[in-house]
């Protein structure tokens, strides 16, 4: 096999809590992660030597600053691969959005190279290696619905979350994850998300139980800086969403709808709103489908 085409799925956080700041500067978190049907496509091709990266997104770095490149380098070096690889990235996941786009691409490259070069690395080992690239990489390797603890790398697989429709909106603003965590005043947080209750609701298959507990402590920082996020959440809830929330450190906002028609109608109405940016109506991606590195084609 010479070429492999794979997908890298985006995630949203149905719940995000920060437990404490660790001495190494990282934060201990408790998050309910969910892959959604928005994905990048990566084509991996064996080459003679080196790493070549191309992408359909001009703004992204194509060198060692890209997580795709870093993931390829990590596998090349740790597995002493004597050949090279050329990778083409078709970017659909909004960038710097709180949807783990870069982490998912990295996870997909690791899984893809494992297959392409017949490395035989277990998923557990890939996760252990992947955390060096980013705390969300192990989850992206796993995909589906999961509880993520520690810095995000301690994963518990959950049953697929109940079916629903999502309106996902990435406003035209840039939010730095570092800035959000640095400005989070943990001692001021009076109400922490009920993560255990949400896990229970997922186990029971109750969409209402999930939406009733959707919360993200990072919103306190990002909404203060960017009122558009509050505006988008209100808009979605006034237009049929059971609940709307910011994903990760933002600025992406997603609303949960029981009916696809209502999600589409809200998307249409949003068309005229300034700064609305990229909009998608989508669904959760079940664990058999939604993980980084889902193979969609093999050649040669
Ligand atoms: P997270 O949810 O994990 O915080 P994010 O959605 O906020 O991730 P990304 O889209 O992963 O953020 O990208 C953040 C930054 O990383 C961007 O500014 C971008 O320049 C850089 N980057 C490096 N590699 C990639 C990649 N493959 N895709 C997107 N961004 C990348």
**DSSP secondary structure string, 279-293?**
EEEEEB--TTT-STT
Find the mean pLDDT for residues 81-100: 96
Is the pLDDT confidence value at 69 over 90? Answer: yes
- For all residues of the chain together, what is the average pLDDT? 94
Q: How many helices (H) and strands (E) does the chain have?
A: 10, 12
- Mutational pocket test of ligand 1: of 26, 43, 64, 96, the residue with most ligand atoms within 8 Å of the beta carbon: 96
Two tokens, residue 233: 């959440």
Closest residue (by CA) to atom 12 of ligand 1? 96
Is the pLDDT confidence value at 300 over 80? Answer: no
**Ligand 1 within 6 A of 40 CB?**
no
Q: How far is the CA of 94 from the centre of ligand 1 (A)?
A: 9
**Ligand 1 within 6 A of 100 CB?**
yes
Distance, CA of 180 to CA of 71 (rounded, Å): 25
Is the pLDDT confidence value at 298 over 70? Answer: no
Atom of ligand 1 nearest to the CA of 96: 12
Categorize the per-residue pLDDT at 230 as very low, low, confident or very high, splitting at 50, 70 and 90: very high
What pLDDT is recorded for position 31? 98
Report the b/e string of 182-210 with b at 16+ CB within 10 A: eebeeeeeeeebbbeebbebbeeeebebb
**Ligand 1 within 6 A of 176 CB?**
no
Residues 280-290: tens digit of each pLDDT: 999 999 777 76
Is the pLDDT confidence value at 293 over 90? Answer: no
Find the mean pLDDT for residues 97-122: 96
What pLDDT is recorded for position 296? 75
11 annotated active-site: yes
218 and 16 Cβ atoms separated by less than 8 Å: yes
Comparing CA positions, the residue from 243, 261, 60, 250 lying closest to residue 169 is 250
- Give CA 20 to chain center in angstroms: 22
Atom of ligand 1 nearest to the CA of 247: 2
Structure letter (DSSP) for residue 186: G
What pLDDT is recorded for position 215? 98
Find the mean pLDDT for residues 89-111: 97
What pLDDT is recorded for position 286? 74
Is the pLDDT confidence value at 101 over 70? Answer: yes
What pLDDT is recorded for position 193? 97
Q: How far is the CA of 300 from the centre of ligand 1 (A)?
A: 31
Task: Classify 60 as helix, strand or coil.
Answer: coil
Q: How far is the CA of 102 from the centre of ligand 1 (A)?
A: 4
**β-pairing verdict for 294-299 and 3-21:** antiparallel
Atom of ligand 1 nearest to the CA of 67: 24
Two tokens, residue 240: 């049929």
Closest residue (by CA) to atom 3 of ligand 1? 100
Categorize the per-residue pLDDT at 24 as very low, low, confident or very high, splitting at 50, 70 and 90: confident
**Ligand 1 within 6 A of 97 CB?**
yes
**Ligand 1 within 6 A of 15 CB?**
no
Two tokens, residue 171: 């406003």
Comparing CA positions, the residue from 285, 229, 239, 238 lying closest to residue 263 is 239
What pLDDT is recorded for position 291? 67
Among the options 105, 136, 160, 215, which is catalytic?
A: 136
Burial of 23: CB neighbours in 10 Å, binned 0-12, 13-18, 19+? exposed
Is the pLDDT confidence value at 147 over 80? Answer: yes
Is the pLDDT confidence value at 278 over 70? Answer: yes
Q: Comparing 102-111, 126-135, 177-186, 237-246, which segment has the lowest mean pLDDT?
A: 177-186
Two tokens, residue 299: 């050649």
Find the mean pLDDT for residues 79-107: 96
* More confident: 252 or 271: 252
Find the mean pLDDT for residues 161-177: 94
* Share of residues in the chain with pLDDT > 70 (%): 96
Distance, CA of 77 to CA of 119 (rounded, Å): 13
What pLDDT is recorded for position 213? 98
Distance, CA of 155 to CA of 123 (rounded, Å): 12
pTM for this structure?
A: 0.95
Atom of ligand 1 nearest to the CA of 91: 28
CB neighbours of 17 closer than 8 A, spacing ≥ 6?
A: 29, 30, 31, 192, 193, 195, 215, 217
Find the mean pLDDT for residues 165-177: 93
Comparing CA positions, the residue from 119, 124, 230 lying closest to residue 173 is 230
Give, in degrees to the nearest 5, the angle at Cα 41 between 38 and 43.
Answer: 170
Closest residue (by CA) to atom 4 of ligand 1? 98
**Ligand 1 within 6 A of 184 CB?**
no
294 annotated active-site: no
């Amino acid at each position: 096999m010479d070429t492999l085409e794979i997908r890298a799925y985006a995630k949203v956080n149905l719940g995000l809590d920060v437990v404490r700041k660790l001495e190494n500067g990282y934060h201990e978190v408790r998050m309910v992660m969910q892959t959604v049907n928005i994905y990048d496509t990566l084509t991996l091709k064996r080459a003679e030597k080196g790493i070549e990266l191309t992408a359909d997104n001009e703004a992204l770095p194509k060198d060692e600053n890209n997580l795709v490149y870093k993931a390829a380098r990590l596998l090349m070096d740790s597995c002493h691969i004597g050949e090279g690889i050329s990778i083409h990235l078709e970017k659909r996941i909004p960038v710097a959005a709180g949807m783990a786009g870069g982490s998912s691409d990295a996870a997909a490259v690791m899984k893809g190279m494992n297959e392409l070069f017949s490395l035989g690395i277990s998923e557990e080992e890939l996760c252990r290696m992947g955390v060096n690239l980013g705390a969300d990489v192990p989850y992206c390797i796993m995909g589906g619905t999961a509880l993520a603890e520690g810095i995000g790398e301690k994963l518990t697989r959950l049953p697929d979350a109940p079916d629903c429709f999502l309106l996902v909106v990435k406003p035209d603003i840039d939010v730095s994850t570092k800035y959000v965590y640095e400005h989070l005043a943990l001692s001021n947080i009076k109400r922490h998300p009920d993560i255990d209750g949400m896990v229970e609701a997922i186990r029971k298959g109750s969409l209402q139980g999930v939406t009733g507990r959707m919360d993200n402590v990072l919103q306190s920082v990002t909404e203060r800086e960017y009122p558009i996020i509050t505006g988008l959440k209100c808009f979605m809830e006034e237009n049929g969403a059971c609940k709307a929330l910011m994903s990760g450190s933002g600025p992406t906002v997603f609303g949960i709808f029981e009916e696809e028609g209502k999600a589409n109608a809200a998307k249409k109405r949003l068309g005229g709103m300034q700064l609305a940016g990229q909009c998608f109506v989508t669904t959760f991606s079940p664990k058999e489908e939604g993980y980084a590195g889902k193979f969609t084609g093999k050649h040669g």
